[in-house]
Structure 1
Amino acid sequence: MKSLRIGGYGPGIVTIGGDLTRVAAPSFLAAHPALPVLYAVGELERGWLTAFDTRDGLAPLDERPSEGSLPCHVAVDPAGTLLAVANYGDGTAILQRLDARGAFEGEPIVLRHQGSGPNRERQEGPHAHQVVFHDDILHVSDLGTDEIRRYRYDGTPLEPIRLPPGTGPRHFAFSGSRLYVAGELDGAVTLIDGERRTTVPASRREGLNYPSHLQLEGEFVYVANRGPDTITVLLADDLSPVAEVPSGGAWPRHFAIDGDRLYVADQESAGVAVFALVDGVPEPTGEVYGVESPACVLIM
């Protein structure tokens, strides 16, 4: 049976229907693709990374520094041999080898960066926000420098994907060679398909919008919008609008999809709202799990 686990800025990792595992600021979680192991970042000034064995609750397996400040995202490559972390505070990312147990092996490759953007308050320096393994390359969104940074698995830097100044790329996803990017600072979703680029507003509601999580599911792109507090559904083919619905709370920071269910972490209303997906469109079920300051939903 699958477990629903919630990370955030409360007292620890909440397992719905299970126990609370106390750990500091576990703002993002990731599961190993083949082993019963869960990874959590500790979004602290001196960032931390913890591995848990999930066979009987959450038992600590290994831990180490994230080599940067305020780690906000963690991911494991499809082969289960590499882990990556994005440190928002100083823009540093790391590549960490994993052993046969899913524990950390050897010293990490530390990927430092420089640069800035036109937004003086948010882009004074690099701010790594998400790490994604795709086509044997590590991709790192950098909100501070308006880039998707790219690295080989040995840490060799490749030419980045550059976005318009002030985009503030946050979360992104691939579909083959197509790249979808949520801009936290420009409030838009951009589709990059070869030389063709399409950009649309992430929300059509009035007021400021700070998109957070973006996810591809079948023929649809889903985006969480902080400010209007909505979930937008777009057609993946051309970003044409399908629907925009209330997120079930305030400040939707992240969401997860499991079959015909959508779970939204509404950070400022202390709840994870549950939606049914009907022809791709979220419909509220009325069910909300009370969780203090949720920031990430993981289904494993």
Structure 2
Amino acid sequence: MMAEVAYIGGYTPDTNGSGPGITLVELGSLARLGETAASGPSFLAVHPTLPVLYAVGESERGTVCVFARAGDGTLSPLAQRPSEGSAPCHLAVDPTGTRLAVANYGDGTVSVHGIDGSGLLTDVWIFPYREGAHAHQAVFGPDGVLYVSDLGSDEVRRYLVGDEVVPHPAGPVRLASGMGPRHMAWSDGHWYVAGELDGTVRVYEVSGGLDDSGASGTPGVSGGEWREVAAVPAGGTGGHNQPSHLEVSGGLVYVANRGPDTISVFAGPGLEPVAEVPCGGVWPRHFAIADDRVYVANQRSDGVAVLPLKGGVPQPAEEVFAVGTPSCVLPLP
């Protein structure tokens, strides 16, 4: 691609009225480069080596769509299949490009799909509904383990991914009761987790992992023990807050706060407060950091706000890219 671009997913029909779409935008100029019809594409991911993009279709009968990416960033549909659950809200591709994990929020199921050499989906492993479960994010850790934050059960489910996909022998990680873990991120031996229900950010130190045989081995490998080392309010001044997305960049932890409509910044791993700034809109569901800017998908104000970074701290929004009910921003070089 000639310039850095981003894909924006959400819920609102595209300008042709053909259905919810994926919007392509050039980040420097914020020029709208195109739109692709898709069914409820609330979260997006790209293949690590192939020009392929994946999108969940957040509906009662969830779907996963596969798109080919042209050199100019435009998308062409390749395939669509069931997500094997309802209301899928997140998906992730493992670093090897051979597995795609989907979190189905509506019924709490998790599905893991094989990916072939062309980027199309093959076999699928399904981990079924459990009472009260609401899977919200699926991420692959540096140990190769698949971690799924379950907002409904206050735990992080773990799966071993190889020729087969199986539940981790040590079971899920139990987090603070009532926390409602939503999004999480790994950095330097720690997992950082945003609690949607109790309005906190928590950090966990990982140690005592498993080696390939399942025996106690190198710390942090294949799961390990989690120890909570800090828990702080995610933002706001005591009012209602539903933290959404969390990222770690340059040693700083960034959290989007829905309700206060802010982005909070903490220094890891102790979670010392650095700053809390307006997000440039209403109900920040997701954000991405690229080119010394934070791009915030403000779902209820129909725009992606661009906040410059100064010393790692977001500054007031300098521009807003108008797009209906954005829920995900995915920058690409």
TM more than 0.5: yes
Aligned residue pairs total 290
Question: For the residues of structure 1 that align with 2:304 and 2:240, how far apart are their CA atoms?
Answer: 23
Q: Identify the residue that residue 152 of structure 1 maps to in structure 2.
A: 160
Contact 1:206 1:228 survives alignment (8 Å): no
Name the SS of the counterpart of 1:264 in structure 2. strand
Aligned residue for 1:156, secondary structure, equals strand
| Match status 1:233 vs 2:235 | no
State the Cα RMSD in Å: 1.1
Which one has a bigger Cα radius of gyration? 2
Give the equivalent residue in structure 2 for 1:4.
Answer: 6
SS in 1 for 2:315: strand
Distance in 1 of aligned mates of 2:76 and 2:126: 27
Tell me the residue number matched to 1:86.
103
Does the Cα contact within 8 Å between 2:109 and 2:130 map onto a contact in 1? no
Q: Select 1:111's aligned residue among 108, 114, 127.
A: 127
For residue 275 of structure 1, give the secondary structure of its aligned residue in structure 2.
Answer: strand
Q: TM-score with structure 1 length normalisation?
A: 0.94
Gaps (5+ residues) in structure 1?
116-124
The one of 111, 117, 129 aligned to 2:136: 129
In 1, the alpha carbon distance for the partners of 2:139 and 2:120 equals 20
In 1, the alpha carbon distance for the partners of 2:232 and 2:317 equals 29
Residue 147 of structure 2 is matched in structure 1 by 139
Gaps of 5+ in 2: 14-20, 26-31, 207-226
TM-score w.r.t. length of structure 2: 0.85
Report sequence identity in percent.
54
Deviations 1:103-147 (A, max 9, x none): 112x310012424xxxxxxxxx10000000011111000001000
**Residue 279 of structure 1: aligned partner:** 311
Amino acid at match of 2:329: V
Counterpart CA distance in 2 for 1:239 and 1:102 is 39
Matches of 2:247 and 2:85, distance apart in 1: 26
CA distance in 1, matches of 2:63, 2:319: 33
State the partner residue of 1:166.
178
The alignment partner of 2:318 has SS state of strand
Q: Partner of 1:268: helix, strand, or coil?
A: helix
Q: For residues 316 and 66 of structure 2, what CA distance do their matches in structure 1 show? A: 34
In the alignment, residue 245 of structure 2 is paired with which amino acid?
H
1:152 partner SS: strand
